[in-house]
Amino acid sequence: MRKPTFSQGKAIETRCTKCRKVTSHLILAMNESTPGKVLCNICGRQHDYQTNATTQKTAVRQNNQLKAAERKEWEELQPTIANGEATDYCMTSHYKIRSLISHPTFGFGFVQRIVGPQKIEILFEGGKKTMRCK
């Protein structure tokens, strides 16, 4: 497989930091053999060139950190499951923060916050979920 050759003024497909997706870019400046600065053809933003490996590693790292924090929070709240009375989850019910609920698919969960007029965020063993409520 041949390595792609980059040069100033050529088009390249890369991830845009503003659009947050892979779009067509124009190479504005080079760093030796790799693009340095690129210009998004969709939104017009200039930014540093990001390889797919760089963006994937960053996303995985952030996701792992988030999951570790959720796991730790779940482990801290787990002793209250035995002490508390869980109510069955229903989309037409009202919930308060720190309420213990029982969901048929996700199991026990704790209401973490009220997201909007009819949404709550619940921490389950498998992670946080945004769910509908009244």
pLDDT of 72-96, one tens digit each?
Answer: 887 887 777 766 688 899 989 888 8
Instruction: Identify the band that residue 11 occupies on the pLDDT scale cut at 50, 70 and 90.
Output: confident
Number of domains in the chain: 2
Residue 46 placed within a domain: yes
44-56 tens-digit pLDDT: 889 888 876 554 5
Residue 38 placed within a domain: yes
Residue 58 placed within a domain: no
Predicted pLDDT at 121: 93
Name the residue range of residue 88's domain. 71-132
The single-letter DSSP state of residue 118 is: T
**Is the domain of 88 the same as that of 120?**
yes
Q: What is the pTM of this model?
A: 0.50
Higher pLDDT, 28 or 84: 28
Rounded CA-CA distance 126/105 in Å is: 11
CB-based contact 33:6 (threshold 8 Å): yes
Q: Output the CA torsion 52→55→58→59 (10° steps).
A: -100
Residue 87 placed within a domain: yes
**Is the domain of 41 the same as that of 80?**
no
**Is the domain of 83 the same as that of 32?**
no
Residue 84 placed within a domain: yes
Location of structure tokens 């209401």: 111
- Residue 127 pLDDT exceeds 60: yes
**Is the domain of 79 the same as that of 118?**
yes
Beta-sheet pairing, 107-116 with 100-103? antiparallel
Residue 56 placed within a domain: no
Average pLDDT, stretch 94-109? 89
**Is the domain of 44 the same as that of 90?**
no
**Is the domain of 45 the same as that of 77?**
no
Instruction: Identify the band that residue 120 occupies on the pLDDT scale cut at 50, 70 and 90.
Output: very high
CB-based contact 115:105 (threshold 8 Å): no
**Is the domain of 43 the same as that of 86?**
no
